[in-house]
């Protein structure tokens, strides 16, 4: 897929939904990368994608798929990282816990 990027890290902040007079909605969040030099990167979810952030808490490890969007307004230029997919990473805070019946398939459960 052209123009699609992915970044992973920990959720630092999730902001409230913003609704504009036109009916357009957006919601921003900040992801801290887990590199040698961590970066706090702001993303935006628009329209129905704002629901992707429901239930996500700071500290949750996620992978974010996004597109880079740019526009001009009154001779000023703006860039947004527009997220369209957010997936919890395995074993991450905020990831859904395993169901009890999933644990029954593990042959090592009898040892504990």
User: Looking up tokens 């969007």, which residue turns up?
Assistant: 69
Q: Residue 111 falls within a domain, yes or no?
A: no
Q: Residue 19 falls within a domain, yes or no?
A: yes
> pLDDT at residue 16 above 70?
yes
> In this structure, what CATH number is given to the domain that contains residue 19?
2.40.50.140
Closest CA to 84 of 41, 48, 40: 48
Residue 110 has a pLDDT of: 47
What is the span of the domain harbouring residue 57? 5-106
Token pair recorded at residue 73 = 């307004």
Q: What is the pLDDT of residues 42-76, one digit of tens each?
A: 999 999 999 999 999 999 999 999 999 999 999 99
State how many domains the chain has. 1
């Amino acid at each position: 897929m052209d123009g699609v990027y992915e970044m992973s890290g920990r959720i630092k902040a999730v902001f409230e939904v913003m609704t504009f007079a036109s009916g357009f909605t957006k919601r921003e969040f900040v992801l801290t990368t887990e590199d040698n030099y961590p970066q706090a990167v702001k993303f935006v979810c628009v329209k129905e994608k704002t629901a992707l952030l429901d239930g996500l808490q700071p500290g949750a490890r996620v992978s974010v798929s996004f597109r880079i969007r740019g526009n001009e307004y009154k001779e000023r230029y703006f860039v947004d990282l527009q997220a369209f997919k957010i997936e919890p990473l395995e074993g991450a805070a905020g990831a859904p816990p395993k169901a009890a019946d999933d644990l029954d398939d593990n042959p090592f459960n009898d040892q504990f």
